[in-house]
Amino acid sequence: MSKSIGTSGSLINDPRARAWAFQILAIVVVAALGWYLFNNTQTNLEHRGITSGFAFLEHSAGFGVSQSLIDYNESDSYGRLFLVGLANTLLVSILGIILATVLGFVIGIARLSPNWLVRKLSAIYIETFRNIPPLLQIFFWYFAVLRLVPGPRQSLSFFDALFLNNRGLYVPAPVSADGIVPFLVAVVLAVVASIILARWVKVRRDKTGRGFPLLLTSIVLLIALPGLAALIFGAPFHWTVPELKGFNFQGGWVVIPELFALLVALSVYTAAFIAETVRSGIQSVSHGQTEAANSLGLKPSRTLRMVIIPQSMRVIIPPLTSQYLNLTKNSSLAAGIGYPDMVSLFAGTVLNQTGQAIETIAITMSVYLVISLSISLLMNVYNKRMALRER
């Protein structure tokens, strides 16, 4: 009996034979799929008369963009359009990372506040914004909040200089005038003076132990020196204030509603995660550290800065890095409200117009990969420097 089972099912029941069989099967399936994709693409491209390759980047795009940080007009190439999209993605990512970090640290520290109300409010903030999908939050700011703002003719105006309407936030823009050179020189001087002052304060504290109101002095310097230059040499620039001309405002700078909604939503959403990261980082530092600092007479703010934060940074940085990556990748949700980021502009409109799907997607994916790897690299360098100080 047992013998007959052994011989009849010998190959099927042999684990090594099975493993081989599955691996061969897997290879065949992948190869077939790859061949199908390649073949399909070839036929599709031939069918639509599209040549593959990157020559299309030279062609004129022929459409305008709602926000561009570099000079761009309709006759410019797809290649230039790519740069416009890249700059817009970087803009929202960088501003978002800065805002989310500041907000996240404040809320994370507030989460541990001795004040009951502050603690509860930050808990509510975290639980609310962390648990709503980011696209929905973008829609909320874009459709629910900014759509309630009136049109250009009924703009909300602040001091007749700032105007908010459904086309965006219009702010005065500086245009350089006669006094600009002395003014800039004065700014540079003030900055240099502040840096020298900071070093002097440190040296003096090391020598004599006496403190110095550094921040206040620097602020005064930064205001007084350029102010003096402006008084003597004339105004450095004048402001072009946005003015209603016809149906819309002219002059000044505009923050388009898409940017505003995307930026606020991404920062608020990511800040909730960063706050949790910061809270758990601070809690990872044992209570004995706070007690030791207290028993030495260090003030709570000093303890936070010199004892708790430096130790918690080691725990905070790895998850913080992944939050930065998330924010950058989530910025592609811009497509949902038509903010001209790289995905909606390049992997969206350009792809549709040219049909060069493989090329545009490949370029866009590579760019995200490069951005993400750069962020990881930077954060790793920082983490190494923090970690080195322990041993």
* Residue ranges that bind other proteins, judged by CB under 8 A: 205-211, 286, 288-289, 291-299, 302, 306-307, 310-311, 389-391
CB of 391 to other proteins, least distance (A): 6
For residue 321 the two structure tokens come to 């890095």
Report the nearest approach of other proteins to the CB of residue 389 (Å).
Answer: 6
Beta bridge partners of 175: 238
Token pair listed for 361: 């997607």
Q: From the CB of 256, what's the least distance to other proteins, in Å? A: 45
Which residue number, 60 or 286, has a Cβ lying nearer to other proteins? Answer: 286
Nearer to other proteins, 216 or 388 (CB): 388
Q: Least distance to other proteins from the beta carbon of 257, Å?
A: 45
Furthest-apart CA pair in the chain: how many Å?
A: 110
Instruction: Give whichever of 320 and 367 is closer to other proteins, judged by the CB atom.
Output: 320
CB of 316 to other proteins, least distance (A): 14
Q: What angle do CA 54, 59, 64 make, to 5 degrees?
A: 120
240 in Cβ contact with 172 (< 8 Å): yes
Q: Which CB, 240 or 290, lies closer to other proteins?
A: 290
In the complex, minimum distance from the CB of residue 209 to other proteins, in angstroms, rounded to a whole number: 4
Axis-axis angle for helices 180-208, 214-233 (nearest 10)? 160
Name the residue nearer to other proteins (CB basis): 6 or 300.
300
Closer residue to other proteins, CB minimum distance, 16 or 385: 385
238 or 305: CB nearest other proteins:
305
Question: Which amino acid, 3?
Answer: K
C-alpha torsion 124→125→130→136, nearest 10? 110
Least CB distance from residue 199 to other proteins, whole Å? Answer: 14
